[in-house]
Structure 1
Amino acid sequence: MPVTIDDVRAVADGLPRSYEVLVRDRVKFRVGSIVWLAFNQEETEMGFAFPKEERAALVASEPEVFFLPRESDLRFNWVESRMGALDEERMRELVLDAWRMVVPKKLWDWPATD
């Protein structure tokens, strides 16, 4: 079943230092001033922090799921995805990996494990 923005919020809202903002009618998540997760206005596409050097391979491996950001955003560590092509497990993995790109390593083990 495809994920919704509410499914993503359930993961992103609880992450340390992450907060949600609304910019030009678009939901974005930030850590400090860094946007690490964002949605288009229709909430059908999710962009997220992702290593520039790995994104071409990701897009090429699953073009039905992932695509490059617009040309003006190619300078950023960023890739886009189609929400309808993601299941909850995959979304959770992408969200946590994107968040880990922008927080100190000491927070990476969230949630704390015993």
Structure 2
Amino acid sequence: MTFDDVRKFALTWPEVEDGTSYGTSALKVRKKLLARLKEDGESLVMPDVPIDERAMLVESQPKIFYFTDHYADYPIVLIRLSEAKRAIVEPLLRRRWRVLASKAVRADYDARASK
């Protein structure tokens, strides 16, 4: 999987737009960070992942999920895109999208998805 793969499915969600963050490609929802490409060009920086959940992800799938000392004290997990599959990445991003998207957009999206 690549950042372009992530971009393709994430941009189908309402309010998601391309952007940059720390000089790398990023996806944003209403100007807030959904995820960004790490400076290495190989990993996805996924914000707002609780530390205990991050620990579980890293422990259960260390080839995919990791963090560096730089992120140790922050609720961020890194995802090795070359090892990841859409079925793993998409639910995490969708959950983050639901937090960032407006209430009206979420309701409309849910209504259309249930048809």
What's the % identity of the aligned pairs? 23
- The one-character-per-residue Cα deviations of 1:85-113 (angstroms, maximum 9, x if unpaired) are 11122222232122223234651738622
Matched ranges for 1:66-77 at <5 A: 66-71=65-70, 74-75=73-74, 77=75
1:54–1:100 Cα change, 3 Å:
same
Q: How does 1:1-114 map to 2 (within 5 A)?
A: 3-49=1-47, 50-71=49-70, 74-75=73-74, 77-104=75-102, 107=106, 109=110, 112-114=113-115
Higher relative contact order (CA 8 A, sep 6+): 1
Alpha-carbon contact 2:20-2:36 (below 8 Å) kept: no
How many correspondences in the alignment? 111
Higher percent of residues as helix: 2
Q: Is the 8 Å Cα contact of residues 24 and 37 (structure 2) preserved in structure 1?
A: yes
Q: Structure 1 residue runs of 4+, over 6 Å off?
A: none
Q: For 2:72 and 2:112, locate their aligned partners in 1 and report how far apart those are by CA, in whole Å.
A: 31
Distance 1:43 1:110 in 2: 36
Provide the rounded CA distance (Å) in 2 between the counterparts of 1:96 and 1:110.
16
CA deviation vs aligned residue, 1:27-59 (integer Å, no higher than 9, x gap): 111223321211123431011132333111111
Gaps spanning 5+ residues in structure 1: where?
none
Paired residue secondary structure (1:46) = strand
Could you tell me whether the CA contact under 8 Å between 1:69 and 1:78 is conserved in 2? no
Q: Which amino acid aligns with 1:68?
A: F
Q: Secondary structure at the match of 1:80?
A: strand
CA RMSD of aligned residues (A): 2.5
